[in-house]
Amino acid sequence: MTGTIMAVGNGGSAPTGRRRQSVTIKHVAADAGVSLQTVSRVINNGPNVRPAMKERVQASIDKLGYVPSIAAQRMSGSRSYLILAINDRDRTIADWRAREGRDWIDQMLLGGMLTAAERGYRMIFELVDTHSDHVERELGAAIAALRPDGIIVTPPHSENLQITDLLAENGIPFARIGSKEEGPGIAITMGDEYLAALATDHLIELGHKRIGLIAGPDEYSLAGWRIDGWCEAMGRAGLSVDGLCVKGDFGFESGITAANSLLDRPDPPTAIIASNDQMALATLQVARERGLAVPDDLSLISFDNSPVVRFTDPPLTAVEQPIAATVSRAVEMLIDARTHAPPAEPVQIQGELVVRRSTGPARPDGR
């Protein structure tokens, strides 16, 4: 590998005369007193490199400020050093244009790009038209142009057989976020059942007995997993779930409809868990319109924990979905896919419940 790249930064201990010159692999080899092949194996995490030798080469890389050129790395072997993350074009653009505070993409980039860079890779984010009559052309074109070493697929497309079969046919390692289905690729979840149960248990501990759930649409498997977690926690406490689950579509207007449906019951819930922030914000609005104080009259928990829920009045207790950590783990496993067999079971990255002021004790009268 003979690629070059300009030295970066003005710190470190690179010789003054070389700071504005191209630092190549030859400079690293000369400084470390090793062959070009040894430096290449260290850079590319190749086999049969003694730890002491790796440290020696890395010290020279750090001293000289050398950063491997991805273009040169791609020419040196079969790897592209690119991880591709895809998201549905229409949904993503609609979210961006709405400017409603969703940060799924931000968290994907945070976790994926940093981890890829640490491993000498780059993560590229692409919007693909995943409708059935376009997906093969769109995704095929992205694969042909980028030749990625791995692909990350997000829900609900992570369970779209047209997409996963296409990736499998191309022999590209891929990670399926939000999927437990058997089949090719690495299945990764964010512990939706556990998180829904965690949120429900928090409300039960506060004395709530009628806990409503605004679930997501059926096209997302994770929507069903959250129902399962809520049902499990309610069952453990001996509480009924009859009539307390209403489905939305993750949109604000569907949250308005669902919240009104729950609160119109003869025995309305004293607490509601909404399966995303938009439906939680809708529920907060409905509560205000009905003269219900949160949390005195109605406790409210959201999923996602996007930035906007910290600035509502009151700030919302929310389930923190570990999106960045999940994508980071996906990148690691895709990079290691050449040398490590994929896990036999779905990988679960666990989130947490962030308690704020939208949850409080149930009223003694149960109303």
Task: Look up residue 19 and give its two tokens.
Answer: 């700071």
CA dist 366 → 79, 114, 172, 207, 338 (Å) = 62, 48, 55, 9, 58
**Rounded CA separation 209/186 (Å):** 39
pLDDT, tens digit (0-9, with 9 covering 90-100), for 331-365:
999 999 878 888 888 999 989 999 999 999 998 76
**Strands 211-215 and 82-88, how do they pair?**
unpaired
Residue 367 banded pLDDT, cuts 50, 70, 90: low
C-alpha span between 289 and 49 (Å, rounded): 67
What average pLDDT does the chain have? 86
The tens digit of pLDDT for each residue in 4-44 reads 333 333 444 444 444 445 778 788 889 989 887 788 778 76
How many CB atoms are located within 10 Å of the residue 124 CB?
17
Phi, psi of 177 (to 5 degrees): -80, 135
For 302-311, how does the pLDDT look when each residue is reduced to its tens digit (9 = 90+)? 998 988 899 9
Separation in Å, CA 79 to CA 305, 312, 344? 37, 47, 25
Contact between 244 and 262 under an 8 Å Cβ cutoff? The reply is yes
* CA separation for the pair 316, 210 (Å, rounded): 19
Does residue 166 carry a pLDDT above 90? no
pLDDT at 108 over 60: yes
pLDDT in tens, 167-199: 888 888 999 998 888 888 999 999 999 999 999
Query: DSSP assignment of 176-241, as one string?
Result: EET---SSSSEEEE--HHHHHHHHHHHHHHTT---EEEEE--TT-HHHHHHHHHHHHHHHHTT---
Are the CB atoms for 225 and 193 separated by under 8 Å? yes
Model confidence over 239-286: pLDDT tens digits?
Answer: 999 999 999 999 999 999 999 999 999 999 999 999 999 999 999 999
DSSP state of 320: E
Going by the DSSP 8-state scheme, the letter that residue 207 receives in this structure is T
The sign of the torsion formed by the CA atoms of 220, 223, 224, 225 equals positive
Which range, of 66-70, 111-115, 185-189, 322-326, averages the lowest pLDDT?
66-70
User: At 262, which helix (H) or strand (E)?
Assistant: helix 252-263
Encode pLDDT of 200-230 as tens digits: 999 999 999 999 999 999 988 899 999 999 9
pLDDT, residue 323, reads 93
Q: Return the pLDDT at 279.
A: 96
Question: Across the chain, how many H-helices and E-strands are there?
Answer: 13, 14
255: tokens are 């949250």
Which has the closest alpha carbon to 57: 30, 96, 80?
30
User: Quick one: average pLDDT of 134-162?
Assistant: 85
User: For residue 234, which of 221, 222, 244 has the smallest C-alpha distance?
Assistant: 244
Reported as a single tens digit per residue, the pLDDT across 58-103 is 898 888 877 665 555 554 556 788 999 988 888 888 888 887 777 8
Distance CA 300, CA 355 (A): 11
Note the pLDDT of residue 240.
Answer: 96
Starting from the edge strand earliest in sequence, which strands make up the sheet with 186-189, in order?
Answer: 122-128, 82-88, 150-153, 174-177, 186-189, 347-348
Tokens of 4: 């070059």
State how far the Cα of 312 lies from the Cα of 290, in Å rounded to an integer: 17
- Give the closest residue to 327 by CA, choosing from 164, 117, 114: 114
Q: H or E stretch including 179?
A: none
Radius of gyration of the chain (CA): 25
First to last CA, the chain: 72
pLDDT at 113: 93
Residue 345 DSSP symbol: S
Residue 13: the pLDDT is 43
pLDDT digits (tens, 9 = 90+) for 126-144: 888 777 777 788 888 888 8
CA nearest neighbour of 159 among 192, 138, 125, 184: 184
Q: Is 319 helix (H, G, I), strand (E, B) or coil?
A: strand
Give me the residue label for tokens 């997409």.
163
